[in-house]
Structure 1
């Protein structure tokens, strides 16, 4: 029950890593504001009294103020913000349009920046030593062909998080990233063909594609008091994908 009496905000909370994170926080005692464009799956009745669903598009310029107003009215403070919401657009670099680029950056980078700013104002105003955890991707450091806007946002997110960590440290607020590798979510499902799955399992040293709960566990660690002396860091949760330089199926002799 690491999060008893804590108030947490999770974006992208209707599915995937966001849903797993919100569920883990609820299980450990938090009151959770679950943010997503829409909520399609029901939540267990057992957590209903500690769950607030918020229908919000993080890319909407009005979203930060709307979320802030609701948090101030219904909770009064925020202890944890997990920025999980994200979109992926698959297209060759030579074919990406301005509209494609703008949408991915609006959700994955600008949305994180301005929602974090709004929540940080609440944390500072209430003198809460809060935790902000941003979800990056292994593709911040490992190229992903046909996903240039996505990789740009994840690299930018990590750089931005370090600056946020520096500026918010005097207020006792930590800012960290989790860097997932291959994870089974609604966003990844369309591209995880049998061929891709076989290739990933051969490439990943631990040989598995992660369920979202494994990534949620890392997010909740960085959101907890156990990580009180960690800020500006990025935790790999990728089965060894990014660090491994071996050639699958071969070895130097």
Structure 2
């Protein structure tokens, strides 16, 4: 019950890592504002009434104001913000459209920036030593062909997090990243063909694709008081994917 009497906002909460994070926070005592464009999957609320569903597009320029207004209307402070919302558009670099570029940046990076700014202002006003956790990707540091807008946003998110951490530290607010590797989510399932899965299993040292709950555990650690002395950090949760330089199926002799 690390989050008893805490209030958390989780974006991208309808599925995947966002849903797993919101569920874990509820189970550990938090009141959770679960934010998504729309909520399609039924919730089994383990929080005994502590779940608040909000339909909100984080790319909407009015989204931060709408969220803050809802928190104030509910007379709630906010202790935790988990920026999990993200989208992926697949196209070769030479064929990426302006519309896809703009939409991916609007959701994955711009939305996270301005939502963090709005929530951090609430934390500062309430003198709350809050936690902001941004969900990046292994592809911030490892190339992902045919996903240039996505990789750009994840690299930008990590750089942004370090600056946030520096500027918010005087207020006792921490900002950190989780960097997942291959994870089974509603976004990734369409591209996880049998061939891709076999290749990932050969490439990942721990040999498996993660369920979203494994990544949510890391998000919740950085959102908790156990991580009170960690800020500006990026925690890899990728089964060793990014650090491994071996050649699958071969060895130097």
TM range (shorter): over 0.9
Paired residue for 1:160? Answer: 160
Paired residue for 2:73? Answer: 73
SS of corresponding position for 1:152: helix
Query: Counterparts of 1:18-33 in structure 2 under 5 Å?
Result: 18-33=18-33
Deviation at 1:44, TM superposition (A): 1.6
> Is 2:90 the counterpart of 1:63?
no
Paired residue for 1:3? Answer: 3
SS of corresponding position for 1:185: coil
SS of corresponding position for 1:49: coil
CA contact (8 A) 2:23 2:46 kept: no
Paired residue for 1:53? Answer: 53
Query: Counterparts of 1:69-108 in structure 2 under 5 Å?
Result: 69-108=69-108
SS of corresponding position for 2:175: strand
- The separation in 2 between residues aligned to 1:48 and 1:229, in whole angstroms, is 31
> Is 2:181 the counterpart of 1:181?
yes
Alpha carbons of structure 1 residues 123 and 245: separation in structure 2 relative to 1, 3 Å:
same
Paired residue for 2:198? Answer: 198
CA contact (8 A) 1:81 1:116 kept: yes
- The separation in 2 between residues aligned to 1:10 and 1:251, in whole angstroms, is 43
Q: Which runs of 5+ in 2 are unaligned?
A: none
Cα deviations across residues 211-247 of structure 1 (Å, max 9, x unaligned)?
0000000000000000000000000000000000000
Alpha carbons of structure 1 residues 46 and 247: separation in structure 2 relative to 1, 3 Å:
closer
- The separation in 2 between residues aligned to 1:10 and 1:4, in whole angstroms, is 16
How many residues are treated as equivalent by the alignment? 253
- The separation in 2 between residues aligned to 1:76 and 1:16, in whole angstroms, is 26
Cα deviations across residues 50-84 of structure 1 (Å, max 9, x unaligned)?
00000000000010100010011114200000000
Paired residue for 1:131? Answer: 131
CA contact (8 A) 1:7 1:75 kept: no
Cα deviations across residues 37-60 of structure 1 (Å, max 9, x unaligned)?
001112124425100000000000
Paired residue for 1:230? Answer: 230
Cα deviations across residues 129-188 of structure 1 (Å, max 9, x unaligned)?
000000000000000000000000000000000000000000000000000000000000
SS of corresponding position for 1:239: coil
TM value normalised by structure 2: 0.99
Q: Which runs of 5+ in 1 are unaligned?
A: none
Cα deviations across residues 77-135 of structure 1 (Å, max 9, x unaligned)?
00000000000000000000111100000000000000000100100000000000000
- The separation in 2 between residues aligned to 1:235 and 1:61, in whole angstroms, is 29
- The separation in 1 between residues aligned to 2:171 and 2:35, in whole angstroms, is 25
Paired residue for 2:113? Answer: 113
Q: How big is the alpha-carbon RMSD for the aligned residues of Structure 1 and Structure 2?
A: 0.7
Query: Counterparts of 1:136-147 in structure 2 under 5 Å?
Result: 136-147=136-147
CA contact (8 A) 2:26 2:46 kept: no
SS of corresponding position for 1:134: strand
- The separation in 2 between residues aligned to 1:222 and 1:75, in whole angstroms, is 25
SS of corresponding position for 2:132: strand
Paired residue for 2:217? Answer: 217
Paired residue for 1:242? Answer: 242
TM value normalised by structure 1: 0.99
